[in-house]
Structure 1
Amino acid sequence: MYRITKEFHFSASHQLSHLPNGHQCARLHGHNYVVIVELAAQTLNADGFVRDYGALKPLKTYIDETFDHRHLNDVMDIPSTGENMARYFYDWCAARWPETTAVKVSETPKTWAEYRP
């Protein structure tokens, strides 16, 4: 199995207001997010790629236009937890690139959430 990954970055605020008062994530706060998309294939295409990295530019454009320097509560209709965001970006990517196998989202350098069906 061949696997490739590409990393994307954005900064955004959010508030997990469904959490109890006093929980740090219930307060308005922000993160410098990292999104990593993984694609895999049993064989390579005619160019020797799982998928050309340049073909993933629509994800960068989508992140820049929809998520970067936004308030995620205004962008997403589900709580903007790392887990939900990983699934959200997975679904977006898989609809465009069937080789998508996983998406990871980091809110801090020490925390990661991953969705992999």
Structure 2
Amino acid sequence: MFRITKEFHFSASHQLDHLPACHQCARLHGHNYIVVVELAAADLNADGFVRDYHELAALKDYIDGTFDHRHLNDVLDCPSTAEHMARHFYLWCKARWPEVAAVKVSETPKTWAEYRP
């Protein structure tokens, strides 16, 4: 199996207001997010790629236009946890590129959430 990944960055605020008021994530705060999309294929296409990285620019455009420097509670229909965001980006990508295998989202350098069906 061949696997490729591409990384995207954005900054945004959010608030997990369903948590107790004493929880630090219940307060308005922000992160410098990293999104990594992974694509996999048993065979390469005629150009020798799983998929041309250039085609993944559509994800950058989506992130920049919808998420970057936004308040995620206003953007997402679900709690703005990294887990929910990983699934959101996975579903968005999978609808465009059948080779998508997983999406990871990081809020901090030491934390990652992954959605992989």
Q: TM-score, normalised by structure 2?
A: 1.00
Following superposition, the deviation at residue 93 of structure 1 comes to 0.2
Q: Which residue of 2 aligns with 1:89?
A: 89
Q: Which residue of 2 aligns with 1:42?
A: 42
May I ask how many residue pairs the two structures share in their alignment?
Answer: 117
3-state SS of 2:95 partner: helix
1:99 and 2:99 aligned: yes
Q: Which residue of 1 aligns with 2:13?
A: 13
Residues 2-57 of structure 1 show CA distances to partners (whole Å, capped at 9, x for unaligned) of 00000000000000000011100000000000000000000000000000000000
Distance in 2, Cα, partners of 1:116 & 1:76: 20
Distance in 1, Cα, partners of 2:102 & 2:63: 17
Q: Which residue of 2 aligns with 1:31?
A: 31
Distance in 2, Cα, partners of 1:28 & 1:91: 27
Q: Which residue of 2 aligns with 1:57?
A: 57
3-state SS of 1:96 partner: coil
Q: Which residue of 2 aligns with 1:22?
A: 22
Distance in 2, Cα, partners of 1:68 & 1:82: 15
* Structure 2 unpaired stretches of 5+: none
3-state SS of 2:38 partner: strand
Root-mean-square deviation over aligned CA pairs: 0.3
Same amino acid, percent of matched pairs: 80
Residues 52-75 of structure 1 show CA distances to partners (whole Å, capped at 9, x for unaligned) of 000000000000000000000000
3-state SS of 1:70 partner: coil
Q: Following superposition, which runs of at least 4 residues in structure 1 exceed 4 angstroms of deviation?
A: none
Counterpart residue type for residue 9 of structure 1: H
